[in-house]
Structure 1
Amino acid sequence: MKEYKKLLVVVDPTSDTQPALARAVELATRNQASITVFLSIFDFSYEMTSILSGQEREAMRQGVIAQRQAWIDEVVEHYSTSEVTIESEVIWHNRPFESIIQYAISNEFDLIVKGTHEHDKLKSVIFTPTDWHLMRKSPVPVLLVKEHDWPVAGKILCAINVGSEDEDHISLNSKIVEHAKDLAKRFDAQVHLVNGYPGTPVNLAIELPDFDAHTYSETIRMQHEERVCELALTLGISTDNCHVKEGLPEDVIPDVAKKLDAELVILGTVGRTGFSAALIGNTAEHVIDSINCDLLAIKPDGYKSPLDES
């Protein structure tokens, strides 16, 4: 597995605290990695000022960039340690997610780290459109961070799919667990596996009077348990840490994460775009609204982002 040696941290210019940068420093300290703090800014009013020449507009943009750069320098100073190298980059771009992904690809970063927004009143997490675009379109793993610590001997939960024998899904399962094992080794954490399996189709029970729903459900459960345990044994995970539950993944994963009090959920995202994405949706996008811990989204090997200009 490729280690996290180069971390790209997306800072939040609206917040006094930067949980993503704090988490990145933790990771970098354990991985001897470097960090680049990244901010994408844009102000449409500067582009529409017709009374100014192109040169004057560019000077104004550079002035804004310089102001933000000075702010980032103050932020970096607060989080800096003697063990971690932190650089910074401010870019003028009208679509933040595009600038993040393109910068991460062109500079060969191993991980994108970004904080999520917390709603003060209800303490619920609000995932921005940028978060969703990053999960769908970034070939680089994306870590979405909440404001909490990763304690020693914590729990990392891997969401795996054993309902498909497709080679891409099988290799993605292994990739997810390998990422978890590497992080677990550095944080002395436990790795757990979770899998949701479908319940008995209602139409079968209605249309077939002799249909044995209980036997059907037990057969599906045993198949999934066997596959999960087989994967666990192959990858060196204790079968005691396997959780197989009936239900949709977007319901099962948050439920198990809450019961385990997991610090991190790792899952694969297939990167659907266009009509199929709108129609089918993505498990990751349903899960993130329901978990109260960090989320690491990983793409299958060979995934090419629509934003990859190379």
Structure 2
Amino acid sequence: LEVLAEPLRDDGIVVKTTAVWDHPLYEGIVRRAIESGADLIVKDTHHHSAVARVLLTNTDWNLIRTCPMPLWLVKPQAFERTPVFVAAIDPMHQHDKPAALDDEILHVCKALSNSVDGTVHAFHSYDPRIAVATATANAYIPVSLPFDEIEQQMHEDHQKRFEEITHFHKIDDDKAHLVAGLTHEELPLIAEKLKADVVVMGAVARNRWKRLFIGATAERTLEHLPCDLLIIKPDWFQTPVRMDNHEAA
């Protein structure tokens, strides 16, 4: 650790190193972060080019689920000269995320962008099939529905809410991306198209027994992103990790 820290210190960065034994690993990381008053956890990830996916470990997933502070999962690649940040928001709150979390995601994106002279894009996707399924849910006989009209209405509803938050945060219209489709397919595509350096998204864990809840297809979304990922928790989130670890005793 000291060998890794010295070049950073030479650049004027204050670096402290700590090596402790703890189990399981993710709990040890969370405990140390809380004890030190950390504002951010940064962890490496490994990209498997043959299958074009990030190989997230069990430790990665448990950190996503349990760490109370922002978690930055990084890839072994340098940023572009003008870094691109993508805020993945959910203005309709379809995935049980509080409204304030979208604001926090955009605040973080803008703060990071301002510090490195980068650019911020906002992203939101919706699945038109949900509206059709809702419309037919109570039908007892086969019905014919105006799919185009239903899809158009859904688009307008999402666009209205999306524009409300992007305009409030002064995101230019050409940097606001509203897409009809599945998040786990569309978000990696837009990140690749924009050559994004970081995607910022929110996460809520419904309870201590479940994994991360970002959406029904969270794992596929995260594992196929071609860039760094910064995950933000809501202010009220409380980690299930106990500060007194009986397993390490």
Q: One fold, TM greater than 0.5?
A: yes
User: AA paired with 2:110?
Assistant: K
Q: Tell me the alpha carbon deviations over residues 215-256 of structure 1, each in whole angstroms, 9 at most, x when there is no partner.
A: 101111111111111101111211221111112222221111
For 2:213 and 2:5, locate their aligned partners in 1 and report how far apart those are by CA, in whole Å: 42
User: AA paired with 1:94?
Assistant: H
Pairing 1:1-310 to 2, within 5 Å after superposition: 72-119=1-48, 124-164=53-93, 169-201=98-130, 203=133, 204=135, 209-273=143-207, 276-277=210-211, 284-309=218-243
Q: In 2, are the aligned partners of 1:80 and 1:86 still within 8 Å (CA)?
A: yes
Counterpart secondary structure, 1:89: coil
Instruction: Say what the alpha-carbon RMSD is for the aligned residues.
Output: 2.6
TM-score (norm. length: structure 1): 0.70
Q: CA deviation at 1:120?
A: 6.8
For 1:88 and 1:270, locate their aligned partners in 2 and report how far apart those are by CA, in whole Å: 30
Q: CA deviation at 1:73?
A: 1.2
Q: Tell me the alpha carbon deviations over residues 137-159 of structure 1, each in whole angstroms, 9 at most, x when there is no partner.
A: 11110000001112232210011
Query: Is there any run of 5+ residues in structure 1 with no aligned partner, and where?
Result: 1-71
268-277 or 91-100, larger mean C-alpha shift: 268-277
Partner in structure 2 of residue 13 of structure 1: none
Counterpart secondary structure, 2:2: helix
Counterpart secondary structure, 1:100: helix
Counterpart secondary structure, 2:151: helix
Q: Tell me the alpha carbon deviations over residues 36-74 of structure 1, each in whole angstroms, 9 at most, x when there is no partner.
A: xxxxxxxxxxxxxxxxxxxxxxxxxxxxxxxxxxxx111
If asked which structure has higher relative contact order (CA below 8 Å, sep 6+), I would say 2
- Residues 168, 154 of structure 1: alpha-carbon distance in 2 compared, 3 angstrom cutoff: same
Percent same amino acid among aligned pairs? 28
User: AA paired with 1:216?
Assistant: I
Q: Tell me the alpha carbon deviations over residues 90-125 of structure 1, each in whole angstroms, 9 at most, x when there is no partner.
A: 011121100000111122100000010233755642
Q: CA deviation at 1:278?
A: 8.6
Query: Which of these two proteins has the greater Rg computed from alpha carbons?
Result: 1
For 1:280 and 1:147, locate their aligned partners in 2 and report how far apart those are by CA, in whole Å: 24
Q: In 2, are the aligned partners of 1:136 and 1:272 still within 8 Å (CA)?
A: no
- Residues 167, 289 of structure 1: alpha-carbon distance in 2 compared, 3 angstrom cutoff: closer
Q: In 2, are the aligned partners of 1:156 and 1:265 still within 8 Å (CA)?
A: yes
Q: In 2, are the aligned partners of 1:105 and 1:308 still within 8 Å (CA)?
A: no
Q: CA deviation at 1:280?
A: 9.0
TM-score (norm. length: structure 2): 0.86
User: AA paired with 1:106?
Assistant: E
Number of residues paired by the alignment? Answer: 239
Q: In 1, are the aligned partners of 2:200 and 2:231 still within 8 Å (CA)?
A: yes
Q: CA deviation at 1:80?
A: 3.6
Q: In 2, are the aligned partners of 1:267 and 1:284 still within 8 Å (CA)?
A: no
Query: Is there any run of 5+ residues in structure 2 with no aligned partner, and where?
Result: 245-249
Q: Tell me the alpha carbon deviations over residues 238-277 of structure 1, each in whole angstroms, 9 at most, x when there is no partner.
A: 1221111112222221111111111000000002345554
